[in-house]
A and B are shown apart, each in its own frame.
Chain A
């Protein structure tokens, strides 16, 4: 049982480059989300999805795109990387968003540096 798998674990990009952070879960969870974690800021929600074909913006969506073509996968795209996007990115999933008790299962993160 892999849970939530994120790839790559580390990435260095140059300003202006684009890339996709991959996230896959094998728990048949409806709800998936992307967070970024910066020192002293906790985790901030970037985008989320309540099911295949449905996505919505979180707290800090600018500069990022997402899609949810399947239940399992929720990739995060950086369109034109900027140094301000240097961060640790976490993908999370839960069975359903619509129940306050649902735990979020997190991947181990992608550490991204933009030069």
Chain B
């Protein structure tokens, strides 16, 4: 059983469309991070959200942390082929452990 469930697991859309990826759990996290991973590379941190209800924007990407700190979403506006990749959410448990979701593999078609 995955502690952090990401949905959808796969998403293929056309350039210019909007999309939302979800990261859900029944557990509370002290913070939540979103990473993007390219083939053959390690994940790279996009954002960290700490406060319940927090919203952070990174250009066309908007990240939101749920009020209860159990879930998060990533919204991409006007998706571009460069957004293609594996998106991973990771929640911090206690001081020392980071728990990852299984990832959403996003493909943006030109």
Binding site for B on A (CB under 8 A): 4, 31, 33, 35, 40-45, 48, 50, 56, 58-59, 90, 92, 97-98, 100-101, 103-104, 106-109
Contact = CB atoms under 8 A, between A and B. Distances in A.
Contacts, number: 62
B96 A101 contact: no
B56 to A, nearest CB: 12
Given A42-B100, A50-B96, A101 B50 contact: yes
A45 B97 contact: yes
Contacts of A44: 100
Contacts of A4: 42
B48 A103 contact: yes
A8 to B, nearest CB: 14
Of the four ranges (under 10, 10 to 19, 20 to 34, 35 or more), the interface on chain B belongs to 20 to 34
Contacts of B102: 40-42
Contact of B33 (A90, A103, A109): A103
Nearest to A94: B98
A100 B45 contact: no
